[in-house]
């Protein structure tokens, strides 16, 4: 193992640690909101954007960089029956990022419509934290996904 691959490995472990900490903090906020709120103050369906972003964060780690860097056409690659070519990986990456950013937009929309606009008397004052915390959860999960995807580097030991 060369010094370069050792430093890449340390960097990847550090990035994974930071991503795990950010994801844990984000879900801690969400669980705090769920435990402190009543159903009329924070609708339980409002965690759907955070759940989808977390699912996409996991799926994002299954798209290898090696596949994205090859240019083998839409039906090329090692196995034509599976999604192991560059076009399929690029489309998958695009769809994952669309879902992540739609989750962020949905959490902002939930905050604005349910908490920022003062039309509902039961959602005024300190209850606004539930909407802001939900939005913060989605933003933290998005930062974790972006950091996990673009912060890691590949070494020769990671290529199969």
DSSP string computed for 14-54: HHHHHHHHHHHHHHHHHHHHHHH--TTTS-GGGGHHHHHHH
142: number of CA atoms within 13 Å, CB side? 19
The tokens 């998005």 sit on which residue? 142
Contact in structure between 74 and 88 (CB atoms under 8 Å): yes
**In this predicted structure, what is the pLDDT of residue 99?**
97
Q: What is the pLDDT along the chain (160 residues), one digit of tens a residue?
A: 566 778 888 888 999 999 999 999 999 999 999 999 888 888 899 999 999 999 999 999 888 777 777 765 555 555 555 566 778 888 899 999 999 999 999 999 999 988 888 766 666 666 888 989 999 999 999 999 999 988 877 754 454 4
Contact in structure between 8 and 154 (CB atoms under 8 Å): yes
**Residue ranges per structural domain of the chain:** 3-150
DSSP state of 112: I
What backbone phi and psi angles, to 5 degrees, belong to 17?
A: -65, -45
**In this predicted structure, what is the pLDDT of residue 84?**
62
Best CA proximity match to 107, nearest among 137, 143, 139, 135: 135
């Amino acid at each position: 193992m060369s010094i370069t691959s050792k430093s890449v490995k340390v960097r990847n472990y550090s990035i994974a640690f930071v991503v795990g900490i950010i994801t844990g903090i984000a879900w801690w906020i969400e669980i705090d909101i769920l435990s402190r709120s009543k159903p009329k103050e924070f609708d339980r369906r409002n965690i759907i954007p955070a759940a989808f972003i977390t699912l996409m964060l996991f799926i994002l780690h299954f798209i290898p960089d090696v596949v994205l860097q090859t240019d083998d056409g839409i039906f090329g690659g090692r196995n034509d029956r599976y999604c192991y070519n560059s076009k399929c990986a690029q489309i998958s990456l695009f769809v994952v990022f669309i879902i992540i950013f739609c989750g962020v937009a949905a959490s902002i929309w939930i905050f604005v419509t349910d908490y920022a606009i003062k039309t509902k008397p039961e959602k005024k004052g300190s209850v606004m934290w539930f909407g802001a915390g939900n939005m913060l959860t989605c933003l933290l999960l998005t930062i974790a996904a972006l950091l996990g995807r673009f912060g890691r580097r590949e070494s020769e030991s990671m290529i199969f």
